[in-house]
Amino acid sequence: MSLLWHIFLAVGDTIICCPPTFSLYTSVTTLCGAYVLEVPRTADYEVDVEGILEALTPETKMIILCSPNNPTGNPVSEADVLALLETGRIVVVDEAYVEFSDQPGGFAHLVLQYSNLVVLRTFSKWAGLAGLRIGYGLFPEWIGAYMKRAQCPFEVNVAGHIAAIETLKDLDYVLGNVRKVVRERDHVYDVLASQPYLEPIPSQGNFILAHVSNEEVEIRQVRTTLEANGILLRYFHHPYLHDFLRVTVGLPEHTDRLAQALAKVMV
Ligand SMILES: Cc1ncc(COP(=O)(O)O)c(C=O)c1O
């Protein structure tokens, strides 16, 4: 990702991103001396295509979308991606969680048709290789050529390389794990939805975002109770997300422990 950003962003350029979304897009953009134009998602967390079209300036070089989006868990629609491709800007779709979604092929099928579409993928989530720093991208040829010219020849370490190859040799096993996560996601959703103070958002990722929606319950209270029960969740400092928590889907016994702890919050 950072290589792509460094190739296409010069000081003073802008990219458009759609918060709430993955915070790294902003950090990498800032490191390039470029600026992020934030076009917030709509009330139902969809990408605001009209808003993006209005925000475009001659300096806007890229539009970054995350699908399924971290942390809201919803995918971007193909109609929205197609509309944004029409702007001629480089549209980057980060598909870090696509393997957990109903459309695990994501937008790969469009890359051959559009010279301004990039799809980014990682082995970190579905294959559990986070930390080994191994991922890949689908690029139009002209962008791929720039990437090859600009990349450091030692970008991928041997451990990550071997782990990725072994993963591909045993796809049945790894995709079986993905299916288990997808099944368990329904269980986590039901547990969250059954709490009177939580509103979970349906997710296509391996996590679920939930809004603490009851005026009598503060997120601090939820966090303290869960941490007292040995459960760490993801909380956010972002203004859009200060009343939200994100749960990563684990094993069925983890969900059971979460359910027990959540039930203690309002007693
Ligand atoms: C949306 C998204 N993209 C990319 C990444 C990072 O992927 P990698 O481990 O391949 O750097 C993450 C990690 O949390 C993520 O949530």
Strands 117-122, 135-138: parallel, antiparallel or unpaired by DSSP?
antiparallel
Measured distance CA(204)–CA(111) in Å, rounded: 22
Q: Please, which pLDDT band fits residue 266 given cuts at 50, 70 and 90? A: confident
List pLDDT tens digits, range 18-63.
999 999 999 999 999 999 999 999 999 999 999 999 999 999 999 9
Which atom of ligand 1 lies closest to the CA of 123? Answer: 10
Determine which residue's CA is closest to atom 5 belonging to ligand 1. Answer: 96
Q: What are the start-end ranges of the H helices in the chain?
A: 2-8, 24-31, 49-55, 78-85, 108-111, 141-150, 158-169, 171-193, 219-228, 252-263
List pLDDT tens digits, range 71-85.
999 999 999 999 999
Q: Please, which pLDDT band fits residue 154 given cuts at 50, 70 and 90? A: confident
Determine which residue's CA is closest to atom 12 belonging to ligand 1. Answer: 96
State residue 9's pLDDT score. Answer: 97
pLDDT mean over 199-225: 95
Name the residue of 5, 67, 70 whose CB sits within 8 Å of the most ligand 1 atoms, as the mutation to test its pocket: 70
A 10 A CB-CB count for 236 gives 17
Domains of the chain: 2-169 (3.40.640.10), 174-263 (3.90.1150.10)
Tokens read off for 184: 């368990």
Number of helical H runs and strand E runs in the chain:
10, 10
**Ligand 1 neighbourhood includes 135 CB (under 6 angstroms):** yes
Of the chain, the percentage scoring pLDDT greater than 70 comes to 100
Class of residue 59 by CB neighbours under 10 A (exposed 0-12, middle 13-18, buried 19+): middle
Whole-number Å distance, alpha carbon 39 to ligand 1 midpoint, is 21
Q: Please, which pLDDT band fits residue 153 given cuts at 50, 70 and 90? A: confident
Query: What angle is formed at CA 121 by the lines to CA 185 and CA 154, rounded to 5 degrees?
Result: 135
**Ligand 1 neighbourhood includes 66 CB (under 6 angstroms):** yes
Asked if 118 and 137 touch (Cβ cutoff 8 Å), the reply is: yes
State residue 215's pLDDT score. Answer: 86
List pLDDT tens digits, range 156-174.
899 999 999 999 999 999 9
State residue 264's pLDDT score. Answer: 96
Measured distance CA(228)–CA(257) in Å, rounded: 12
Q: Please, which pLDDT band fits residue 152 given cuts at 50, 70 and 90? A: confident
Identify which of 131, 130, 78, 71 has the alpha carbon closest to the alpha carbon of residue 102: 78
State residue 94's pLDDT score. Answer: 98
pLDDT mean over 109-119: 98
State the average pLDDT for the chain.
96
State residue 267's pLDDT score. Answer: 77
Tokens read off for 7: 């190739």
Which atom of ligand 1 lies closest to the CA of 21? Answer: 1
Terminus-to-terminus CA distance in the chain, angstroms? 46
pLDDT mean over 94-103: 98
Whole-number Å distance, alpha carbon 50 to ligand 1 midpoint, is 27
State residue 155's pLDDT score. Answer: 82
Whole-number Å distance, alpha carbon 70 to ligand 1 midpoint, is 9
**Ligand 1 neighbourhood includes 124 CB (under 6 angstroms):** yes
Residue 138 pairs with which residues in a beta bridge?
Answer: 119
Q: How far is CA 154 from CA 29, 37, 48, 56, 151, in A?
A: 23, 33, 39, 36, 8
Whole-number Å distance, alpha carbon 16 to ligand 1 midpoint, is 18
The answer, yes or no, to whether residue 186 has pLDDT greater than 90, is yes
Measured distance CA(85)–CA(187) in Å, rounded: 37
Q: Please, which pLDDT band fits residue 214 given cuts at 50, 70 and 90? A: confident
Whole-number Å distance, alpha carbon 248 to ligand 1 midpoint, is 14
Determine which residue's CA is closest to atom 15 belonging to ligand 1. Answer: 96
